[in-house]
Structure 1
Amino acid sequence: MGSSRTRNLQVFDTELSADTVEWCPLPHYAHIVACGTYQLQKDDEKNPSRIGRLYLFQFDQQQSFTPPLTEIQRIDTPAILDLKWCHTEIYERPLLGMATACGEIQLHRLRDTQDGRCALERVLSTELGPNRLALSLDWSTGRGDSANPRVVTSDSTGSLTVLSLAEDNLSAVSQWKAHDFEAWISAFSYWDTQLVYSGGDDCKLKGWDLRMGPSSPTFTSKRHSMGVCSIHSNPHREHILATGSYDENVLLWDGRNMRQPLSETAVGGGVWRLKWHPVHEHLLLAACMHNDFHILHCQQAADGNEGPCPILASYILHNSLAYGADWSRLPLSGPPPSSPTTETTPASLTLTEPKGHLRIQYESPTASFDTALEDECGRYIPDHTTAVSAPAPVPGVGDNPASLSCLLASCSFYDHMLHVWRWDWSPETETQSAETGPTPSS
């Protein structure tokens, strides 16, 4: 199977609960990462307030004697539920979208400062409506098209809103009721941006065609057994879609046939965020709430072969709910540094059912509901008896299958921590497998 390992590079205390982190996708600013936080203030029991903070960091791997991650800005804001950079420059600058607990979508422009660093400045905003929390957002620019940039957002009333960005104005093009309860997630199909996907606390995954209007979805899937809270369209392979749920499963879909998923992978925790790798089309990062962060290899499933996606690596150093996660486009140079927090992860992961009576409460970051993961008899609902193992050998990725090094960031909620870490993978090739036989992961 080759070797796979994750190494922590730095940990940062965000003070408020951290729930979203995003690396800038634009090459010139790939060293910039933003992190959003959410804190429920219960001073007033009847009207609790939700506060947040937006952090901006820069990463410099060339610094030998200082930590590579440096905070360069912090902005107090309403509580932040989601952050997403536009994949292309708008007005010749990077643009960061932010979904807030006051039902507002804010756009912040990244500008260069006189000291050679960067800073965010708020340039546009729009309110989605009264008495709602903006829960997610996605840009239509996932494949680099900047001709007609739009944002789709979901909110706590179960509604979706499509926003258009034109002539220094962010305005709603359409808004409709999509789900019975919270609409946790919304996402564009990056290959046809007239198609939108959404998932909600009503356990439904839905598709929408903006050309047909929002009167009825193009499909409704009840394949997930609990709330659907993550969706990401693959920017490299047309029709491939990944979804995740509180039911602790990652489903891979072919958008042309939404009756049945291509694969189902049990990951042992509610799947709050999914991120396809920005370059390598088969690598999928999953933030799994109660079960850390995992990297899945999805090639065989995307090619139509049945079975779960093998888990190549797991990052297990967070001590709280795993919420935010993202890949960096920044290339890593040199060998990984030695670190006392190094852990070795197997290229396959077996998830077993907990012994004894385990009660887990899933708390949404909005603190608006709890989901008890047990049935009336006290049995744990998600079934983890399935072994998730990789067929051997796992194909390599990219132009150099001999090795791959990736930089990632992740954040966790109650311990308010941001981690920056690297993943090094040397996949076993078919030639190596034939010559040496099976070898354990190192």
Structure 2
Amino acid sequence: MASRRSRTRSLQVFDTELSADSVEWCPILSDSDVLCCGTYQLRREDEDDNPSRTGRLYLFEFHQEGPSRPPLTELQHIDMAAILDLKWCHVPLAERPVLALAAATGEVQVYTLSDRQEGGRSLKVLCSSPVGVERLALSLDWSTGRLDSSDVRVVCSDSEGCVSVLSMDEGVVTVLSQWKAHDFEAWISAFSYWDTQLLYSGGDDSKLKGWDLRMSPSSPVFISRRHTMGVCSIHSNPHREHILATGSYDERVLLWDSRNMQQPLSESQVGGGVWRLKWHPTQQHLLLAACMHNGFHILHCQQVLEGGGGGSCPVVASYILHNSLAYGADWSSLSLEDPSPHSSSTAEPEESLAETTGHFQIQYESPTASFDTSLEDDAGRYIPEGITAPSSSNYPAATSDSEEVTPLLSSLLASCSFYDHMLHVWRWDWTPPSDAQETTRPDSLAASSEKYAERSLNTRC
């Protein structure tokens, strides 16, 4: 039996019908139960025709687990051009939550979330701005990561290798500057949340670059070639100044001190191309990684960030129930109740299947999903079948029922995968060991890598 110090538990699976590549929880406290998911579908009807790229934006509301209904409720979906990325502004604008998305039409589109008291929550178009013709907007980031609303801007990267900085003022988004940053696709762009005159970009030319908006864009602050393949994820730590996380097709997560970009603080192999990285909203040492053909993993970075030297950050939890490329992932800021004994656990499925008195609701079924065949308990509630547990030998020793460990941290997460078009909502309960050295790296990093060959995202763009 796996350790109860760290357990991931599936709460709900949702079929997005189109390929899912981005998912974001609303960071605004009053609306932290709101989740958005974006999709991308490349359609080739004729080899001589230009392919069409269609998408759909989903809006969900999350409820704490209960016996009578699944926790996730779809509030709205909007058919549109394909969505490559989406991000909520970290602060309300004009007293409203605001969502921006990067579209295949080469636009940054901005939406506002209406209030519950206005007849139910929904997303409404606020404004949009093109960043260029015949190109795809690939990523975006808000400057508001440390809850600073004094100068709200958006950075966007695109398929022509350009980076654009846009202002957001009085409901209008305007391009302030744009420059050629990379030789090929600029997969990712991100602000330094501690100094929003600084931003970073990564491209298919395998280069990580830094930019100072007070200087000419013809001269980047630095160029790093430490990644050996395309750089596709960057996230500034909102809790620790100077700390930056980057990921690449080269299957490595690098942590940096932005004051010295010659040498990373640490290098962690995660067994799959790192499409997205997300720091935990309140825990400064926890980093979530979407690792394409090798699932989703949570890295514990405390030893590195506390000056413990180089090396790698241990993986303290893995979620490997997706059967396709792991792209979108995000933490929720929603406060969860005490761990429910009703949910099934990927860490200890045999015991959970026998003991569960709650439900695992299958909303939709997919030919390639993990849960095509569902089981019911005596009360007619669904439980998953055929989940294989990671090897228990790679976890700290399990506790007996009489030694049940009370988690110090319970987190709600969402993740999505591409070709099987699945959105998963799950929770992670964790009791950090008293000695950081106790954490070990689970074998689940390699559990799914043989299922899919690594594919460059050039094929979908």
Q: TM-score, normalised by structure 1?
A: 0.84
**1:118–1:63 CA distance, 2 compared to 1 (3 A):** farther
Alignment partner of 1:343: what SS? coil
Q: Which structure 2 residues correspond to residues 186-225 of structure 1 after superposition, within 5 A?
A: 186-225=189-228
What residue in structure 2 maps to residue 165 of structure 1? 168
State the Cα deviation string for residues 243-295 of structure 1 (Å, max 9, x = none).
00000000000000000100000000000000000000000000000100000
**1:220–1:229 CA distance, 2 compared to 1 (3 A):** same
Which residue identity lines up with residue 89 of structure 1 in the other structure? P
Please, which of 151, 154, 164 is the counterpart of residue 151 of structure 1?
154
Say if 1:294 and 1:315, in contact at 8 Å, map to a contact too: yes
Please, which of 310, 314, 332 is the counterpart of residue 310 of structure 1?
314
Please, which of 418, 424, 428 is the counterpart of residue 423 of structure 2?
418
Which residue identity lines up with residue 177 of structure 2 in the other structure? S
Aligned: 1:429 with 2:423 = no
CA distance in 2, matches of 1:407, 1:277: 11
| CA shift for structure 1 position 115 | 7.1
Aligned residues: 386
CA distance in 2, matches of 1:431, 1:94: 38
CA distance in 1, matches of 2:437, 2:181: 50
CA distance in 2, matches of 1:301, 1:39: 39
Aligned: 1:19 with 2:21 = yes
Q: Percent identity?
A: 68
**1:121–1:431 CA distance, 2 compared to 1 (3 A):** closer
Q: Which structure 2 residues correspond to residues 21-420 of structure 1 after superposition, within 5 A?
A: 21-45=23-47, 46-61=49-64, 63-113=66-116, 117-304=120-307, 305-340=309-344, 342-344=346-348, 403-420=408-425
CA distance in 2, matches of 1:44, 1:96: 34
Say if 1:57 and 1:70, in contact at 8 Å, map to a contact too: yes
Say if 1:187 and 1:196, in contact at 8 Å, map to a contact too: yes
CA distance in 2, matches of 1:2, 1:432: 17
CA distance in 2, matches of 1:8, 1:115: 32
CA distance in 2, matches of 1:225, 1:259: 15
Alignment partner of 1:308: what SS? coil
Say if 2:114 and 2:122, in contact at 8 Å, map to a contact too: yes
Alignment partner of 2:431: what SS? strand
| CA shift for structure 1 position 337 | 3.7
Alignment partner of 1:172: what SS? strand
Say if 1:309 and 1:390, in contact at 8 Å, map to a contact too: no
| CA shift for structure 1 position 198 | 0.2
Which residue identity lines up with residue 159 of structure 2 in the other structure? S
Say if 1:98 and 1:137, in contact at 8 Å, map to a contact too: yes
Q: Structure 1 unaligned runs (5+)?
A: 346-388, 393-400
Greater CA drift, 329-338 or 76-85: 329-338
State the Cα deviation string for residues 304-342 of structure 1 (Å, max 9, x = none).
322100000000100000000000000110223434453
Say if 2:58 and 2:77, in contact at 8 Å, map to a contact too: yes
CA distance in 2, matches of 1:103, 1:83: 13
| CA shift for structure 1 position 240 | 0.2
CA distance in 2, matches of 1:270, 1:402: 30
CA distance in 2, matches of 1:313, 1:177: 38
Q: Would you tell me which structure has more strand in proportion to its own residues?
A: 1
Alignment partner of 1:300: what SS? helix
**1:240–1:344 CA distance, 2 compared to 1 (3 A):** farther
What residue in structure 1 maps to residue 371 of structure 2? none
**1:169–1:427 CA distance, 2 compared to 1 (3 A):** same
| CA shift for structure 1 position 303 | 2.4
**1:52–1:432 CA distance, 2 compared to 1 (3 A):** closer
Which residue identity lines up with residue 408 of structure 1 in the other structure? L
Which residue identity lines up with residue 426 of structure 2 in the other structure? W
| CA shift for structure 1 position 215 | 1.4
| CA shift for structure 1 position 44 | 3.5
| CA shift for structure 1 position 428 | 1.8
Q: TM-score, normalised by structure 2?
A: 0.80
What residue in structure 2 maps to residue 350 of structure 1? none
Alignment partner of 2:141: what SS? strand
CA distance in 2, matches of 1:4, 1:176: 45
Say if 2:206 and 2:225, in contact at 8 Å, map to a contact too: yes
CA distance in 1, matches of 2:160, 2:52: 18
Q: Structure 2 unaligned runs (5+)?
A: 350-393, 398-405, 444-461
Which residue identity lines up with residue 417 of structure 1 in the other structure? M
Say if 1:310 and 1:391, in contact at 8 Å, map to a contact too: no
**1:124–1:225 CA distance, 2 compared to 1 (3 A):** same
CA distance in 2, matches of 1:113, 1:106: 23
Say if 1:407 and 1:423, in contact at 8 Å, map to a contact too: yes
| CA shift for structure 1 position 407 | 0.3
| CA shift for structure 1 position 166 | 1.3
What residue in structure 2 maps to residue 4 of structure 1? 6
CA distance in 1, matches of 2:319, 2:205: 30
Alignment partner of 1:419: what SS? strand
Say if 2:7 and 2:345, in contact at 8 Å, map to a contact too: no
CA distance in 1, matches of 2:118, 2:202: 43
What residue in structure 1 maps to residue 353 of structure 2? none
